[in-house]
């Protein structure tokens, strides 16, 4: 048999056996269990996982009181023997849950960009990999960031109250707001969300973009954005966007001291995490008109109690953490989270790993 014939025969045999090999591989991975922490994880991603593994899914939502009570207990019952955990929640991953899982747990795949609730020290100590879902939600969160800027600048809280009361303040100088046109927008956290927001603001004729961070971003050139120290950003910005991750360094970065460095017409918008802001200090600054307004998609806690003092302010506009809440974005996040699990359990490179 010459070499050409051998290659032809080998290729033919391999092609015929490939479906069999794939089937055997799939049957082997069906023994692996994947736990989905919340009952509202998209069906499209569950179906993708079920092609490869045995999927267990909580009957309860993993948010709010239900997540802390019924869901928590069910997860403790379901997780023993699982090889992967898809975390769909703003609640903390507890040491108790990881202890219950056992040593075969290989990966936690969180369906979110942030991962401050994922107990990084415990995951690292146990050799468990962690992934998140950045970038796929940047466009949707950027849209909410722009919406909050407009809502706070144009005094939506006051104006909506007028409409509901049927008592409109009519006059040439009544309820005047601030312009995005010609303004300086300072972005704290010029990653995917910060850049997506800048891209969407371009059509509003913003005067200048500045940002702060540890390093210059090559993408900043697209927006003529300039890297500046935080103090300079606070002093110059008309709009201050918080889109940074929550770390020990960024926790309560907006506080009495930093608020005092802002312009009187400054508007603070937070689409990152609630604890980027000391809310007591923000309340004082808004109540005393030390800054102009604020728009929040994230708070501490979530949900914010309906009798919270922040809701007494007319220069604050609050949304219930809906930054990524579109059909397309949530589905994309779920599919990415599922594919990270598939890659991890097949020994392939992770798509969006978190460095522990």
* 174-184 pLDDT tens trace: 999 999 999 99
Residues 6+ apart with CB under 8 A from 355: none
Same fold, 31-136+328-345 and 138-318: yes
Indicate the domain borders of the chain. Answer: 31-136+328-345, 138-318
138-318 maps to CATH 3.30.70.1140: no
91 catalytic per annotation:
no
| DSSP E strands, the chain | 33-36, 54-57, 84-87, 107-110, 129-131, 184-188, 208-212, 226-227, 239-242, 267-270, 293-296, 316-318
Q: What is the pTM of this model?
A: 0.87
What is the Cα–Cα distance from 287 to 238, expressed in whole angstroms? 18
* C-alpha closest to that of 186 among 247, 254, 137, 135: 254
pLDDT for position 20 = 47
Given the residues 52, 90, 91, 321, select the one marked as catalytic. Answer: 321
Phi and psi dihedrals of 261, rounded to 5? -90, -5
CATH architecture, domain 31-136+328-345: 3-Layer(aba) Sandwich (3.40)
The DSSP code for 252 is T
- Give the gyration radius of the chain's Cα atoms: 24
* 187-225 pLDDT tens trace: 999 999 999 999 999 999 999 999 999 999 999 999 999
- Walk along the chain (356 residues) in steps of 10 and give the mean pLDDT of each run: 57 55 57 97 97 97 92 96 96 96 97 94 97 96 98 97 94 95 98 97 96 94 97 98 95 98 98 97 98 98 95 98 97 98 97 96
pLDDT for position 21 = 47
Half-sphere exposure of 170 (CA within 13 A, CB side): 4
């Amino acid at each position: 048999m010459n070499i050409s014939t051998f290659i032809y025969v080998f290729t033919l045999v391999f092609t015929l056996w490939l479906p069999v090999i794939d089937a055997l591989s799939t049957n082997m991975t069906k023994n692996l269990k994947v736990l989905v922490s919340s009952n509202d994880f998209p069906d499209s991603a569950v179906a993708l996982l079920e092609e490869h593994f045995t999927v267990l899914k909580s009957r309860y939502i993993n948010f709010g009181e239900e997540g802390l009570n019924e869901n928590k207990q069910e997860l403790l019952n379901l997780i023993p023997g699982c090889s992967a955990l898809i975390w769909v929640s703003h609640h903390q991953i507890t040491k108790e849950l990881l202890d219950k899982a056992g040593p075969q747990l290989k990966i936690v795949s969180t369906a979110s960009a942030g991962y401050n609730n994922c107990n990084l020290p415990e995951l690292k100590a146990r050799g468990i990999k962690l992934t998140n879902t950045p970038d796929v939600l940047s466009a949707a969160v950027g849209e909410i960031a722009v919406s909050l800027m407009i809502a706070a600048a144009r005094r939506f809280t006051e104006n909506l109250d007028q409409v509901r009361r049927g008592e409109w303040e009519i006059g040439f100088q009544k309820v005047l707001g601030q312009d995005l046109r010609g303004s300086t927008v300072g972005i704290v956290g010029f990653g995917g969300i910060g850049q997506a927001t800048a891209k969407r603001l371009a059509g509003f004729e913003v005067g200048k973009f500045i940002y702060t961070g540890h390093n210059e971003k090559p993408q900043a050139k697209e927006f003529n954005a300039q890297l500046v120290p935080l103090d300079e950003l606070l002093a110059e910005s008309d709009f201050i966007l918080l889109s940074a991750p929550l770390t020990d360094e960024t926790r309560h970065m907006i506080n009495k001291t930093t608020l005092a460095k802002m312009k009187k017409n400054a508007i603070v918008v937070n689409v990152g995490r609630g604890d980027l802001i000391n809310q007591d200090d923000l309340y004082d600054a808004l109540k005393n008109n030390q800054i102009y307004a604020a728009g929040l998609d994230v708070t501490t806690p979530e949900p914010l109690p309906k009798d919270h003092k922040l809701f007494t302010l007319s220069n604050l506009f609050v949304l219930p953490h809906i930054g990524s809440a579109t059909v397309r974005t949530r589905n994309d996040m779920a599919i990415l989270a599922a594919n990270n699990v598939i890659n991890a359990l097949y020994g392939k490179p992770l798509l969006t790993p978190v460095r522990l």
